[in-house]
Structure 1
Amino acid sequence: MTQDIILANAQIILADEVIRGGLVLCEGQIAEIFQGSSVPKEAMDCEGDFVSPGLIELHTDNLERHITPRPKVDWPHRAAIMAHDRELAATGITTVFDAIRVGSIISDGNKRYGKYARQMADEILQMRDAGALKISHHIHLRAEICSETLLDEMDEFGDKDRVGIVSLMDHTPGQRQFRDIQKFEDYVCGKHNLDRAGFAEYIAFLYGLQERLGAAHEAGAVAAAKRYGATLASHDDTTAEHVATSAAHGVTIAEFPTTVEAAEACHDAGIATIMGAPNLVRGGSHSGNVAAKDLAQIDRLDILSSDYVPAALLMGAAHLAQLWGNWAKGIATVTANAARYVHLEDRGVIAPGKRADLLRFSMLHDVPAVRQVWAAGRQVA
């Protein structure tokens, strides 16, 4: 038996309002919500700070940064996973879908990038099952359509892996995120240390892959998501036609649509729109695509992702809360809305019987400062 934890004198962010009050946590769940600013003798005084549900991250590249801190450096994986886990906990994230690429290029030369998904998933799941991780980890497979080995790699996974999300990623240059070939060149050469002298040859190689394998890879990834029982996501939809194709596949989440046209089409199709919190915090897309703020202002932004900056998730939610004048709605983009679309019914809101995944934070001017974090009632930061 564990001792009850009582939080008091907090601004508690509920599903549709903020109340002054406290919470009783028992056996990893929220047992009670009470109102008022009084602080019982055995309670923790939250001093008027916000208390929200723990944040839920559906798409993050943060693990990749720990695995490969420099080009061609492969850091010990278990150490990288733990560092990633602790970093997320410190930013208020209590549930993460770790994004792992499936689909590799195994041809010789500087175009090569190898398989790693099965091994990485095994390492994450083993560490999770051993209790070595502070927060709740799930698997998100990023299905790279423009690759050579996608279907073989997806066949290495099954329903026992509990894959939560499969996203359809097509990074063929000249469309979607990289309509601007120059931006694609800058991104690829910078990230993968590719020689610009051979870039035209690389582009031709990718076009050939897409023409030869693209349709089969897309159909195979959709079928695999159904086989796993995973939520299906699109990535970088740009046109209404892209969205129509996504809807036909059964996509329910659109990651980072690049235009207002695509976001409007997602709304009409009942597909939730995820935008990057760094885009929102910075005031625009680093790839020159639609600004997250523009979609928020027309109410076409449903979920935020930290993408490549874990601390951006809470910052982005705070930005939205202030933009919309509604803390409950802003925080829902990183809690309740995310939980609903990946079918995690036990978390994402503060209510009796839900997991005690909680975040205490204050505001320093316009920047949220994390004070404490609990995952299933256990303090993790």
Structure 2
Amino acid sequence: MTPQTVLTNANLVLEDQVLHGTIVIEDGVITDIDAGAVAHGEDMDGDYVVPGLIELHTDHLEQHFAPRPGVRWPLTAAIQAHDSQIAASGITTVFDCLRLGSDEDGGFEKGEMRAMSGAIQEAQREGRLRAEHRIHLRCEVSAADVMDHFSEFEDDEAVGLISLMDHAPGQRQFQTLDQYELYYKTKRGLSDEEFRAFVERRQMQSAIYSDKHRHALAAICAARGIAIASHDDATLDHVEEAKQFNVTVAEFPTSMTAAKASHDAGMGVLMGAPNVVRGKSHSGNIAARELAREGVLDVLSSDYVPFSLVYAPFVLAEEIDHIDLPDAIAMVTANPARQVGLDDRGRLAPGLRADLVRVGRQDTIPVVRQVWREGRRVA
């Protein structure tokens, strides 16, 4: 018989309350939750215990695989470095973003992301990884070769989420050329003439490919039961298009209009946890806290800073009057789980997976003290 794990004297963050009590784990599953402390078990010393965090959109793996221009780090070593930081941030389920489709801002060659996905799955089978890793394919629909890149994933069962992206200038993330010029012209050191030509090429590619590729990818997702995310929606037309494709996650809407319409349509509105912590978007778009104040923020993503996923909920619970800690924690646990159909995790309740995080709070910045995945201590 598998011995029980008992965590007591904890502030358990449940769906509707914070309960001072005890949680019992057996065979990787939560078996009991009770109020009050018990004499036996591991003393949590009054720390919070929250469900394991669920990350739907992180580019963090890229930083380990391609740490410098032209540099490629060994795949398994990059994955393990990424995984260690993910788990230490309290993330027990992560959808690793893999970019498909080349554009003039770079990207990866065909085969690189396929090799990455294979290496992630092999590392998982070998027991190298602390978190559970799934695949999120970020598909640049304006790229001529996105379907060619996607063809390598047609039979990959690890793919659980696909986002439909178009980073061409003049719409979505870059609604004005001022934003695009700051982001690309300065970054790439282009002359005025070179920048104009660059913009024209990107807009032409978008006009040729985006609509065709969106429809093709959405049809494949529908057939395979893969969740779809829209990306950088700015207008009501964008939201109507997302509804047409049965999108369940609205990633990084760039206007309040799009965010409200997406939320009202039942999509999980996802914003960056770094945006919450910093109080603003790095690209000059709408601040996540504004969406939270309007009640249309549903899901947080660590995006490029893993630790932000455990940090941001505490910021929201303190800064936004109508958001309490259970509401904020749900944005990184129950809500993302629901949007991608993971009904076995994301909440502290008997019968669910024992994915847990012990979080200490001496000041404004939380400390991840312990992490369990399916009842096994991983950090």
* Bucket of the pairwise TM-score, normalised by the shorter protein: over 0.9
Q: Using the alignment, how far apart are the partners of 1:10 and 1:232 within structure 2?
A: 37
Which residue pairs with 1:331 in the alignment? Answer: 329
Asked if the contact 1:306–1:312 (Cα under 8 Å) also holds between the matched residues in 2, the reply is yes
Q: Using the alignment, how far apart are the partners of 1:363 and 1:237 within structure 2?
A: 36
Cα distance change on mapping 1:135 and 1:103 into 2, 3 Å: same
Asked if the contact 2:271–2:299 (Cα under 8 Å) also holds between the matched residues in 1, the reply is yes
Q: Using the alignment, how far apart are the partners of 2:249 and 2:108 within structure 1?
A: 27
The count of aligned residue pairs is 374
Asked if the contact 2:33–2:350 (Cα under 8 Å) also holds between the matched residues in 1, the reply is yes
SS of 2:173's equivalent? helix
Deviations 1:124-179 (A, max 9, x none): 11111222111110110111012121112222223542311011011011111112
Compare 195-204 and 310-319 and name the one that shifted more.
195-204
Which residue pairs with 2:39 in the alignment? Answer: 40
SS of 1:343's equivalent? coil
2:109 to 111, 114, 130: 114
Which residue pairs with 1:194 in the alignment? Answer: 188
Q: Using the alignment, how far apart are the partners of 1:344 and 1:277 within structure 2?
A: 21
Compare 79-88 and 154-163 and name the one that shifted more.
154-163
Which residue pairs with 1:282 in the alignment? Answer: 278
Q: Using the alignment, how far apart are the partners of 1:362 and 1:16 within structure 2?
A: 20
Unmatched runs of 5 consecutive residues or more in structure 1: none
SS of 2:207's equivalent? helix
Which residue pairs with 2:3 in the alignment? Answer: 3
Tell whether 2:91 aligns with 1:93: yes
Q: Using the alignment, how far apart are the partners of 1:159 and 1:351 within structure 2?
A: 34
Tell whether 2:160 aligns with 1:158: no
Which residue pairs with 1:306 in the alignment? Answer: 302
Unmatched runs of 5 consecutive residues or more in structure 2: none
Deviations 1:244-297 (A, max 9, x none): 111011111100101100011112222110011111110111111111001100
Cα distance change on mapping 1:110 and 1:29 into 2, 3 Å: closer
Which residue pairs with 2:13 in the alignment? Answer: 13
What one-letter code is carried by the residue in structure 2 that aligns with 1:296?
A
Tell whether 2:372 aligns with 1:378: no
What one-letter code is carried by the residue in structure 1 that aligns with 2:188?
L
Which residue pairs with 1:49 in the alignment? Answer: 47
Q: Using the alignment, how far apart are the partners of 1:56 and 1:171 within structure 2?
A: 26
Which residue pairs with 1:354 in the alignment? Answer: 352
1:294 to 290, 295, 306: 290
Asked if the contact 2:19–2:35 (Cα under 8 Å) also holds between the matched residues in 1, the reply is yes
Q: Using the alignment, how far apart are the partners of 2:106 and 2:9 within structure 1?
A: 57
SS of 1:364's equivalent? coil
Asked if the contact 1:159–1:228 (Cα under 8 Å) also holds between the matched residues in 2, the reply is no
SS of 1:63's equivalent? helix
- Give every structure 1 segment of 4 or more consecutive aligned residues whose post-TM-superposition deviation is greater than 6 Å: 109-112
Which residue pairs with 1:168 in the alignment? Answer: 164
1:321 Cα deviation from its structure 2 partner: 2.0
What one-letter code is carried by the residue in structure 2 that aligns with 1:125?
Q
Compare 9-18 and 216-225 and name the one that shifted more.
216-225
Q: Using the alignment, how far apart are the partners of 2:156 and 2:273 within structure 1?
A: 32
1:185 Cα deviation from its structure 2 partner: 3.7
Asked if the contact 2:248–2:340 (Cα under 8 Å) also holds between the matched residues in 1, the reply is no
Q: Using the alignment, how far apart are the partners of 1:170 and 1:318 within structure 2?
A: 32
TM-score, with structure 2 as normaliser? 0.94
Compare 221-230 and 250-259 and name the one that shifted more.
221-230
Which residue pairs with 1:228 in the alignment? Answer: 224
Which residue pairs with 2:62 in the alignment? Answer: 64
Compare 87-96 and 160-169 and name the one that shifted more.
160-169
SS of 1:287's equivalent? coil
Q: Using the alignment, how far apart are the partners of 2:296 and 2:105 within structure 1?
A: 40
Cα distance change on mapping 1:32 and 1:313 into 2, 3 Å: same
SS of 2:57's equivalent? strand
Compare 194-203 and 164-173 and name the one that shifted more.
194-203
Which residue pairs with 2:78 in the alignment? Answer: 80
Q: Using the alignment, how far apart are the partners of 2:70 and 2:178 within structure 1?
A: 24
Cα distance change on mapping 1:54 and 1:331 into 2, 3 Å: same
1:68 Cα deviation from its structure 2 partner: 1.2
1:213 Cα deviation from its structure 2 partner: 1.6
SS of 2:152's equivalent? coil
Asked if the contact 2:142–2:208 (Cα under 8 Å) also holds between the matched residues in 1, the reply is no
What one-letter code is carried by the residue in structure 2 that aligns with 1:5?
T
1:96 Cα deviation from its structure 2 partner: 0.3
Asked if the contact 2:99–2:108 (Cα under 8 Å) also holds between the matched residues in 1, the reply is no
Asked if the contact 2:53–2:90 (Cα under 8 Å) also holds between the matched residues in 1, the reply is yes
Superposition map of 1:241-256 within 5 A: 241-256=237-252
Asked if the contact 1:100–1:139 (Cα under 8 Å) also holds between the matched residues in 2, the reply is yes
SS of 1:81's equivalent? helix
Q: Using the alignment, how far apart are the partners of 2:195 and 2:205 within structure 1?
A: 15
What one-letter code is carried by the residue in structure 1 that aligns with 2:371?
V
Asked if the contact 2:231–2:252 (Cα under 8 Å) also holds between the matched residues in 1, the reply is yes
1:199 Cα deviation from its structure 2 partner: 3.0
1:224 Cα deviation from its structure 2 partner: 2.2
